[in-house]
Structures are given as structure tokens and as C-alpha cells.
């Protein structure tokens, strides 16, 4: 079996790495500020090493915030990567950066694969994430058995960079729903229809969906961790979408409006590491003098 390295043991990465090591793949992880994650994985059979030690593996997974972190890690690893190695970026990254890094690594005989994720940390632990992969056919076939350790749905979306392009489109839809739900719920509350009565109409109807149900886990059930995806990450992804649309010469007015909903929330007190996407109605409500606390 190929030796697997993993960098980025956060909300998603810890669950992914757990599935890799417990399903029999040799795993090396680097020290992380979340010592509990490292110690948990070492207890399950992983090896702790340096970033350079991780770079010596056959396949290295990165699961970090975005392109700036990916670029930093890739350049730390570059002198230590083996010819023929794969670097798999599971972050939601800027496709322009992805293409530049891929070209840079290709000069060393290393292949960069974009394999961003959909769903939540709960599915990362369950091994049922959705993964969209940008790679050649041969690289995809090599990588698929490892991804299958933590994914229930694996889509070979296209060539290098297409995974990150599709991920931005996927997030545009989900975050667009979040912005739409938030405005609708605030308006609903303002005109005297409570979120629970709003939910009785939407849930189970044609406008219901899995994302809606997760999103409403906060307002209806008071679960602050119903969907642990931060407002700051949402704004970052929508900035990447804006850049992709600009590069393609496509007007993206709805995308910009959605981005502004999240940027406004951050500008009016949204804490980057503590407030998640389902909390957006709190900030839309605050801007309109409406109390949206569950």
C-alpha cells in the first residue's frame, strides 16, 4: 500500500485521517496546533513527523483553509517531495492558484490533484464525504482507493483544476441558499411569522432539501454546530468564485450579492472561528432590528 501523508487536521481533516489510518493505510501526520487530533491518530497507528517527513510519502493530502495556506505548505514540501508523488489538495482553493502550483510541481515530477469536499465534519468521520476530483484518468484511478476510505461519493469531474472549479459552483449554490433563507426568515419574523411556523410550511414541501434541514438546525433546534462551516470561510469561497467569474468574463451579480451578505455579517461582529453559516440570520436580523436568536 502507498504511504499516505496528511496535513491539516482540523474539523474535516481529523475525520478523514481517522478513516485513512483505521482502514489500513500507512499514515504520517505533521504536528498541528490541535494536539488532541495528532495524539488520537498516533494512538490509532499513525506516525507523527515533520512537514518534510510527510512530504516523503507517496500521496500527501492537504486539508486547510484556502490557497494561501496550500501555497505555503507546498513550497515547504517541494524540496522533499519524491518524483512520482501526488499532492492532493482537498481545500476549497482558487483555481488560478491551483494551476500555477500544478505547473510548478510538474517540473519536479510531482502531480497536484484538486479533490475538494462536500458535506460536513460528521460525514468526514463517517467516511461518507462527497469528493470532486480534478485529475487525469490514470491519476484518478491511482488515487480513488485512498479517497474511498473517507468518501461515499467520488466524482471524477474533469482534468486538473476542474475539482476546485466545481467546488466553487457547489458552494455558490449552498451559500446562496443560506443568504436567501436568512433574508426570508428575517422578513418572516418581522411580519409576525415565527421561524417555527415558516419551517412547518417549507419542511417536507417542494422547497425543502438536505441543506435547508441542516441550516435550520440552529434556528429551530438551537444547535450552534448544526453545520460547522465558518462565515469567514464562506466569504473566502465567494471571493474565489468572483475571481473565477471575472477570469471567465461572466457577470456574476447574484454571486456578488451573496458574498456581500457574508462580508456584512463579518463586518458587524461575526467571529471568524465561532460563527457558522446557519448563524447568518442573526446578522441579517441585527441589521434590520429583528432578534433572530433561537
CB 159 within 8 A of CB 135: yes
Element (H, E) at 28: strand 27-30
- In this prediction, residue 288 carries a pLDDT of 96
Q: How far apart are CA 77 and CA 66, in angstroms?
A: 17
pLDDT by position in tens, the chain (length 294): 899 999 999 989 999 999 999 999 999 999 777 789 999 999 999 999 999 999 999 999 999 999 999 999 999 999 999 999 999 999 999 999 999 999 999 999 999 999 999 998 999 999 999 999 999 999 999 999 999 999 999 999 999 899 999 999 999 999 999 999 999 999 999 999 999 999 999 999 999 999 999 999 999 999 999 998 999 999 999 999 999 999 999 999 999 999 999 999 999 886 655 899 999 999 999 999 999 999
CATH number for 165-287: choose from 3.40.50.2000, 3.30.530.20, 1.10.1040.10, 3.40.50.11540.
Answer: 1.10.1040.10
- In this prediction, residue 274 carries a pLDDT of 80
Strand, coil or helix: 88: strand
- In this prediction, residue 1 carries a pLDDT of 86
Determine whether 167 is an active site residue: yes
Please identify which of the residues 167, 190, 228, 236 carries the catalytic annotation.
Answer: 167
- In this prediction, residue 31 carries a pLDDT of 77
Topology classification of domain 4-160: Rossmann fold (3.40.50)
Strand partners, 60: 5, 87
- In this prediction, residue 272 carries a pLDDT of 56
- In this prediction, residue 11 carries a pLDDT of 87
CB 130 within 8 A of CB 153: yes
- In this prediction, residue 270 carries a pLDDT of 64
Q: Where are the domains of the chain?
A: 4-160, 165-287
Amino acid at each position: 500500500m502507498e504511504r499516505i501523508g496528511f496535513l491539516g487536521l482540523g474539523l474535516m481533516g481529523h475525520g478523514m485521517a481517522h478513516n485513512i489510518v483505521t482502514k489500513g493505510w500507512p499514515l504520517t501526520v505533521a504536528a498541528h496546533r490541535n494536539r488532541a487530533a495528532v495524539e488520537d491518530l498516533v494512538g490509532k497507528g499513525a506516525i507523527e513527523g515533520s512537514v518534510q517527513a510527510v512530504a516523503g510519502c507517496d500521496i500527501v493530502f492537504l486539508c486547510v483553509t484556502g490557497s494561501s495556506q496550500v501555497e505555503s505548505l507546498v513550497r515547504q514540501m517541494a524540496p522533499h517531495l519524491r518524483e512520482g508523488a501526488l499532492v492532493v489538495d482537498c481545500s476549497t482553493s482558487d483555481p488560478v492558484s491551483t494551476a500555477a502550483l500544478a505547473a510548478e510541481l510538474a517540473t519536479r515530477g510531482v502531480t497536484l490533484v484538486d479533490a475538494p469536499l462536500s458535506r460536513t465534519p460528521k460525514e468526514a468521520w463517517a467516511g461518507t464525504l462527497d469528493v470532486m476530483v480534478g485529475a487525469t484518468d490514470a491519476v484518478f484511478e491511482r488515487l480513488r482507493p485512498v479517497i474511498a476510505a473517507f468518501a461515499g461519493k467520488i466524482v471524477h469531474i474533469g482534468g486538473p483544476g476542474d475539482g476546485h472549479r466545481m467546488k466553487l459552483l457547489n458552494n455558490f449554490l449552498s451559500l446562496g441558499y443560506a443568504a436567501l433563507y436568512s433574508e426570508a426568515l428575517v422578513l418572516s419574523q418581522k411580519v409576525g411569522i415565527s421561524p417555527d411556523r415558516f419551517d412547518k410550511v417549507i419542511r417536507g414541501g417542494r422547497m425543502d432539501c438536505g441543506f435547508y434541514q441542516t441550516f435550520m438546525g440552529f434556528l429551530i433546534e438551537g444547535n450552534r454546530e448544526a453545520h460547522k462551516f465558518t462565515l469567514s470561510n464562506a466569504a473566502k469561497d465567494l471571493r474565489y468564485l468572483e475571481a473565477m467569474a471575472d477570469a471567465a468574463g461572466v457577470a456574476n451579480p447574484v454571486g456578488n450579492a451573496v458574498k456581500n451578505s457574508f462580508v456584512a455579517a463579518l463586518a458587524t461582529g461575526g467571529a471568524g472561528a465561532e460563527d457558522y453559516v446557519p448563524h447568518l440570520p442573526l446578522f441579517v436580523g441585527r441589521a434590520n432590528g429583528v432578534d433572530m436568536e433561537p
